[in-house]
Amino acid sequence: STMLLLNGPNLGILGRREPAIYGTDTLADIEQAVADEVSEQGWKVLSLQRDSEGELVSAIHEHGPDSVGAVVNPGALMIAGWSLRDALASYEHPWIEVHLSNVWAREQFRHESIIAPLASGLVVGLGAYGYRLAARALLHVTGASR
């Protein structure tokens, strides 16, 4: 089985992007941690980071059908990424939303995610470790592990 690890704009430069807010782990570190988390169930991780919404939508169309679930950090697309929202609405497997930072401790414009109502659940504010937790939760909600 393959799970998708979807990251939106500005998440490809993790490690050097405002490290006081987002931490020093790189996306490669996160990919490794997520892969470690799900490997015991025999799952593989397909990591797709795109800086533009359209490319993220295309990636979901292309790879969604062959996957069993997803972990999604939409980045700023959480605020107004309506076509990402519609792509996720037609994604037929469970997915978990992740934000590295505690978005409610930050600016008002980050306090609402338009994709959150479609997620199985969210992990917010726990940094890179949150991706690990989300992957774990995905195993649970898909029934791959208890």
Binding site for ligand DQA (CB under 6 A): 10, 73, 75-76, 78, 99-101, 103, 110
The residue nearest ligand DQA at its CB is 75
User: What's the rounded Cα separation, in Å, for the pair 137 and 146?
Assistant: 9
Maximum distance among all Cα pairs of the chain, rounded to whole angstroms: 41
Cβ proximity of 62 and 50 under 8 Å: no
What is the closest distance, in whole angstroms, from the C-beta atom of residue 14 to ligand DQA in the complex?
9
What is the closest distance, in whole angstroms, from the C-beta atom of residue 40 to ligand DQA in the complex?
26
Q: Report the binding-site residues for substrate.
A: 73, 86, 100-101, 110
Is 61 designated active site? no
Which residue reads 């195993």 in tokens?
Answer: 139
Closest CA to 120 of 131, 134, 101: 134
Q: What size, in residues, is the chain?
A: 146
Is 111 designated active site? no
Nearer to ligand DQA, 60 or 123 (CB): 123
What is the closest distance, in whole angstroms, from the C-beta atom of residue 119 to ligand DQA in the complex?
13
Residues forming the active site? 22, 99
